[in-house]
A and B are shown apart, each in its own frame.
Chain A
Amino acid sequence: MDLAKYPFLAEAGAYLRDKGFNLEQLGHPDWAPLVDKAYGRIVVASSGQIYGSDSRLENPDMEILSFIVAVILLKAASVQTLTRRFALAEARRAERYLQQDLWSSKKSLDLPLKIIRELFGVEVSVESDEFVIRVSDYLKRAVHFHEKEWKLVNRRVGSGHVRLTAHETVRLIRTELGQYINSRIQAVSLPQIPEAFQARVRDLVSLASRFSDAVVVSSDYPPCVKHAIEVLEKGENLPHSGRFLLATFLLSRGQTTDQIAPLFKNAPDYNERITRYQLEHISGASGRGTKYSCPSCDKLRSENLCFAVPECDGVINPAQFGKRRPRPNA
């Protein structure tokens, strides 16, 4: 049951042996539904959704096996973008279960706390329904979030510890969970795969081609914006502040929400509806009508998003790039 929630904890080879399976057997037509389920798990992940298991996990073996087979298919297809998306989506799925387990009852706290402690080295204790972690463990993770509520000053802190809700505790380790699952996938050595898997592997390769549309980068873009586009192009995770930079910059150059939205298509957690909503919000078309402007170079520097080149001299905001003439004696 627990492995069905957190299938990445299973040692794939050992699990199959324990259950008396081998890969060859899984290649038998009787197991086709399993391979389809595994493939579906990847397809769902690639679209930025979280794969939904049936809520009670009534068939835990299928949940675990489909994860293992999905990993094998991904290894065989060897497409980094799909693997990253899969790892991220699986992390979100595990995140849901972790949160549920932390919420529900005292009895099931052992496993989620053990996962957090053993995989990420964060000691969490429980005090009157709140989760308590050391300030240093908190800081090492929370500094990657840009929302002000995550600043230590806005947290309840006492005696060297920070108090968090279940949701916040799990949110704090999200990135590491994704990295952990990704590293587990990378560490799997590719076995000889049954012929029956090959068709699905080919499907994955063609699925991946959808994510490699060429994006035209104008040479008048500043290096920070080019960097943001490159990161998204590679299907890697661009932090919120980088996405905000990209959106506000392109809006300031007169591009429309429709033109900008496709750029985010490659983000590992892409969701078209949310992307459009956020772009419209930033452009002032929805919400309170505030039109957000491009963050300053200072701000970007502090967020490690600045990659200044000589042409950036005299520019204090990316929106000015290419518009301001350099001072004659500069």
Chain B
Amino acid sequence: MLERDAALVENAIKEYYFNHHDLIPVPPKIGEREFGYQKFNGGMTRHIAIRDIKELHLLLMRETPSDVYCSNAYYSFPSMPMAEKDWKGADLIFDIDAKDLALDCRPSHSVSRCGTCGNAAQGRHAACPSCASPKVESVSVACRNCIDESKKEVAKLAAILDGDLGISPADVQVYFSGNEGFHIKVPSPAYESLGSHERADLVDYVMFNGAIPEAFGMRRQNSAKSSLPELGEPGWRGRVASGIFGSRSRAQKISRQVVLEGYAAFQARLDGLKKTIGARVDPKVTMDVHRIFRLEGSINSKSGLAKVRAQDLASFDPFTDACLLGDEKVEVAACCPVPVRLRNKKYGPYAGERVSIPKYAAVYLICKGLASAV
């Protein structure tokens, strides 16, 4: 990022941390967490121990980091090197990101930014349409559909956590990630001691990975004698039943047909159901028990939006509720071929012109690489 862009964004972030201390909650067991942060154009500083919320606020004001992270794990010695930290447990975390959902809307709000001529073109391109340079980078800007689809995945996950894993909705904290998805945190004593391998199997569970026909009553040999799960059964058996049969009236007929198709076809059906009934989370995040995860209330430098709690998921609008930077006008040179909607106002499209827009919108475009301070 250019120096003057970084300065503009840094100032906006500093102002936010100064005015909105209240939006950064005290992480439980704060003294046992590992903190880390990044500065604009700088590397990652991690293995930091913080005693209390005042010390955390001080760090935010003093360093004005572009991004701040806090471990989901807690340790006896959070500031020691990893091997000596003495891991004590970790909150269960899940990451749902719209970019992993392969949605049809993606090309319509993706912008290919050329590193050579600075041109920005809508869609994904291997080379710059204007100067043919291969140095293009693709970014994605605010899209309502991406958020809605991500919310559906959050709802699937929450239902599995509640019904199957016994984690009540009151214990499931849903956060907007600050860019294009959601972070789900479960500070549950029942699961905090699980290691990486166990979490890998747990994440396969919520994603419906690795299901075998035998577990759903389909026999490898003599498949005609199979007895498939019924609608209304708890857990995956019930979800598989409703995924295959749809309604009760069709169940018997389809069941006979499925049994006739045999074992291999049933395996293919199970694999096909993964997308619709499994929660599409990023497995690497859940498996990692030493991760430092974006801090609640902090600004995400990919967008200038904040990671905030979505108390009521249905009505939550990240482009308003998480768009918390100042609104005084700033002048920038913007080059953004698709319009961006923030706080219910449309910005763009801009064709390399100088515009005077609120700071939150200017920071958003600068963070996406689609505008520059003048």
Which A residues form the contact surface with B (CB < 8 A)? 134-136, 139-140, 142-143, 148-149, 151-161
Within 8 A of A (CB), among B220-238: 234-237
Residue of A nearest to B205 (CB): A152
Interchain CA distance A156-B163 in the complex, whole Å: 12
Q: Mark B179-222, 1 if CB is under 8 A from A, else 0.
A: 00000000000110111011011101100111110110000000
B215, A157: Cβ atoms under 8 Å? Answer: no
Q: Would you list the 7 A-B pairs with minimal beta carbon distance, nearest first? A: A160-B166, A154-B215, A139-B198, A158-B234, A152-B205, A143-B197, A159-B166
Task: List B contacts of A149 (CB < 8 A).
Answer: 212, 214-215
- Point out the residues of chain B lying under 8 angstroms from A135, CB to CB: 165-166, 190-191, 202
Cα–Cα distance between A155 and B208 once the two chains are bound (Å):
12
- Are the CB atoms of B209 and A153 closer together than 8 Å? yes
A160 to B, closest residue via Cβ: B166
Q: How far is the CB of A162 from chain B (nearest CB, A)?
A: 10
Residues on the B chain within 8 Å of A142, using CB: 201
* Pairwise interchain contact A153-B166, C-beta atoms closer than 8 A: no
Cβ–Cβ contact B214 & A153, under 8 A = no
Residue B167 interfacial (CB < 8 Å): yes
User: Which one, B200, B212, B234, contacts A148 given CB within 8 A?
Assistant: B212
B215 touches A153 (CB 8 A): yes
| Chain A contacts for B208, CB-based, 8 A | 153
Q: How far is the CA of A143 from the CA of B191 in the complex (A)?
A: 15
Inter-subunit contact A154/B163 (CB<8 Å): no
Closest Cβ neighbor of A150 among chain B residues: B201
Q: Identify which of B163, B191, B214, B215 contacts A158 (C-beta below 8 A).
A: B163
B261 beta carbon closer than 8 Å to chain A: no
| Smallest Cβ-Cβ distance to A137: which chain B residue | B190
Q: Are A136 and B167 in contact (CB under 8 A)?
A: no
**CB nearest neighbor in A for B236:** A153
Please state if B190 and A152 are interface contacts (CB–CB under 8 Å).
no
A156, B214: Cβ atoms closer than 8 Å = no
Docked pose: A284 CA to B198 CA in angstroms: 33
Q: How far, in whole Å, are A134 and B188 apart by their CA atoms in the complex?
A: 13
CB of B164 within 8 Å of the partner chain: yes
Contact between A158 and B204, CB atoms less than 8 A apart: no
What residues of chain B lie closer than 8 Å to A148, measured between beta carbons?
210, 212
Interface contact B235-A157, CB-CB below 8 Å: yes
- The minimal Cβ–Cβ distance linking A305 to chain B, given in whole angstroms, is 13
Q: Name the distance in Å between A283's Cβ and chain B's nearest Cβ.
A: 22
Q: Which residue of A lies closest to B164 (CB)?
A: A157
Contacts of A159 in B (CB 8 A): 163-164, 166, 234
**B204: A residues at CB distance < 8 A:** 151-153
> Which of A153, A158, A160 sits near B211, CB closer than 8 Å?
A153
Cross-interface CB contact of B165 among A140, A151, A155, A157, cutoff 8 Å = A157
- Asked if B165 contacts A154 (CB within 8 A), the reply is no
CB closest chain-A residue, reference B215: A154
Interface size on B, residues (CB 8 A): 28
Nearest chain A CB to B260's CB is how many angstroms away?
A: 23
Nearest chain B CB to A13's CB is how many angstroms away?
Answer: 35
Chain A min CB distance to B238 (Å): 10
Cross-chain contact A152 with B211 (CB below 8 angstroms): no
Across the interface, B190 reaches (CB within 8 A) one of A143, A154, A158, A160, namely A160
Scoring A142, A152, A153, A157 by chain B CB atoms within 10 A of each residue's CB, the highest score goes to A153
Residue pairs across A and B with Cβ atoms less than 8 A apart, 7 shown, are A139-B194, A152-B201, A153-B209, A153-B236, A157-B235, A159-B166, A160-B165
Contact between B201 and A136, CB atoms less than 8 A apart: no
A134–B209 touching, CB < 8 Å: no
Cβ–Cβ contact B198 & A151, under 8 A: no
State the CA gap A28–B140 with chains docked (Å): 86
Q: Within residues 343 to 369 of chain B, which ones have a CB less than 8 A from any CB in chain A? A: none
Interfacial chain B residues near A139, Cβ < 8 Å: 194, 198, 201-202
A43 vs B205: C-alpha distance in the bound complex, in angstroms?
44
Q: Is the CB of B194 within 8 A of A136?
A: yes
Q: Chain A contacts of B191 at CB under 8 A?
A: 135-136
* Chain B 313-345 residues near chain A, CB threshold 8 A: none
CB–CB A151/B166 < 8 A: no
Min distance, Cβ A307 to any Cβ of chain B, angstroms: 18
Q: Which residues of chain A are within 8 angstroms of B198 by Cβ–Cβ distance?
A: 136, 139-140, 143
Q: What is the chain B residue whose CB lies nearest that of A155?
A: B215
State how many angstroms separate the Cβ of A149 from the closest Cβ of chain B. 7
The smallest C-beta distance from A330 to any residue of chain B, in angstroms, reads 25
Among A153, A157, A158, A160, contact of B210 (Cβ-Cβ < 8 Å): A153
Query: Bound state CA distance, A148 and B209, in angstroms?
Result: 11
Chain B residue nearest to A156 in the complex (CB): B235
Which of these, A134, A152, A154, A157, contacts B214 with CB under 8 Å? A154
Contacts of B202 in A (CB 8 A): 135, 139, 152
- With A153-B204, A154-B214 given, can you name 13 additional A-B contacts, CB distance below 8 Å? A136-B198, A143-B200, A149-B212, A152-B202, A153-B210, A153-B211, A153-B236, A156-B234, A157-B165, A157-B205, A158-B234, A159-B164, A160-B165
CB nearest to B166 among chain A residues: A160
Contacts of A134 in B (CB 8 A): 190
In the bound complex, how far is the Cα of B215 from the Cα of A101, in angstroms?
Answer: 26
Q: How far is the CA of A322 from the CA of B236 in the complex (A)?
A: 45
CB distance from A306 to the nearest CB of B (A): 15
* A10 to B70 Cα, complex, angstroms: 49
State A134–B194 Cα separation when bound (angstroms): 12
Chain A residues near B215: list those with CB within 8 A.
Answer: 149, 153-155
